[in-house]
């Protein structure tokens, strides 16, 4: 990609774009690349400064991981979403490690973390933008935390399944119990047990191919 392509994209994404000098705009475009990630690949690992990511197509998953390898998904990034936590050098006050994987084949714009950090030091509007992106994710993470800590598992699983069929547009979810457990920060056994219960209630049907939702209404009632 060349300067003009990045310029066209960034003028849409960055509220501070019009306030930047032509030199600074060029600086940011110069330190940008377009990157393709294969489904399943790890993009960001802990405390590296991978850079600022903007999703052009596909889907990224952001998660934390325990020493034993247990994962908890914090949120996913879809088209147009921006990832600031993958640029730990931009936000000094972020001291926790996150991981980012490509959940689908994804195409992203990647801005060098050190370039973005340098610009944010001399342009308050850029710094405010970066901090606001981070703080808004703080709210997402608190939501996940409350879900995990406060909500009963049947309700959480019902919400997860409804989100999935709404995201994919299909009544059949091609997910293993292991995958669901990973996304929900739970264990495979817990997911399997609850899906067995849902199936017994006529809400779902579990097969090798995935999980079919038979009764959306009942599922929705569980979320109330």
Q: Decide if residue 18 touches its own copies (CB under 8 A).
A: no
Q: How many CB atoms lie within 10 A of CB 198?
A: 24
Minimum distance from residue 147 beta carbon to its own copies (Å): 11
Q: Decide if residue 89 touches its own copies (CB under 8 A).
A: no
Q: Decide if residue 70 touches its own copies (CB under 8 A).
A: yes
Among 35, 131, 190, 214, binds its own copies (CB under 8 A): 131
Distances in Å between the Cα of 135 and the Cα atoms of 23, 78, 115, 183 are: 28, 18, 21, 22
Q: Decide if residue 124 touches its own copies (CB under 8 A).
A: yes
Minimum distance from residue 12 beta carbon to its own copies (Å): 20
Q: Could you say which residues in the range 182-211 bind its own copies, by CB under 8 A?
A: 185
What length does the chain have? 224
User: For its own copies, which is the closer residue by CB, 4 or 67?
Assistant: 67
Calpha distance 208→49 (Å, rounded): 40
Among 18, 21, 22, 67, binds its own copies (CB under 8 A): 67
Query: 77: which residues sit within 8 A by CB, 6+ positions away?
Result: 53, 55, 59, 60, 61, 62, 83
Among 57, 136, 167, 168, binds its own copies (CB under 8 A): 136
Question: Where does this chain bind its own copies (CB under 8 A)?
Answer: 64, 66-68, 70, 72, 91, 93-96, 124-125, 127-128, 131-132, 134-136, 138-139, 141-143, 145-146, 148-150, 185
């Amino acid at each position: 990609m060349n300067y003009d392509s990045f310029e066209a994209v960034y003028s849409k994404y960055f509220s501070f774009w019009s306030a930047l000098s032509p030199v600074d705009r060029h600086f940011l475009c110069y330190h940008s690349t377009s990157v393709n990630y294969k489904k399943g690949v790890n993009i960001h690992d802990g405390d590296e400064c991978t850079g600022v990511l903007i999703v052009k197509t596909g889907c990224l998953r952001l998660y934390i991981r325990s020493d034993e390898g247990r994962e908890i998904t914090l949120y996913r990034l879809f088209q147009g979403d921006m990832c600031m936590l993958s640029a730990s050098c931009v936000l000094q006050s972020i001291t926790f490690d996150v991981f980012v994987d490509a959940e689908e084949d994804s195409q992203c714009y990647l801005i060098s973390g050190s370039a973005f950090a340098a610009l944010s030091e001399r342009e308050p509007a850029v710094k405010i933008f970066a901090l606001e992106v981070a703080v808004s994710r703080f709210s997402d993470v608190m939501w996940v935390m409350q879900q995990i800590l406060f909500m009963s598992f049947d309700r959480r699983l019902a919400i997860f399944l409804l989100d999935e069929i709404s995201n994919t547009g299909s009544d059949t979810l091609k997910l293993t119990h292991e995958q669901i457990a990973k996304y929900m920060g739970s264990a495979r056994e817990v997911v399997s047990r609850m899906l067995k219960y849902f199936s017994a209630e006529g809400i779902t049907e579990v097969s090798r191919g995935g999980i079919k939702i038979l009764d959306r209404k009942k599922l929705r009632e569980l979320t109330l």
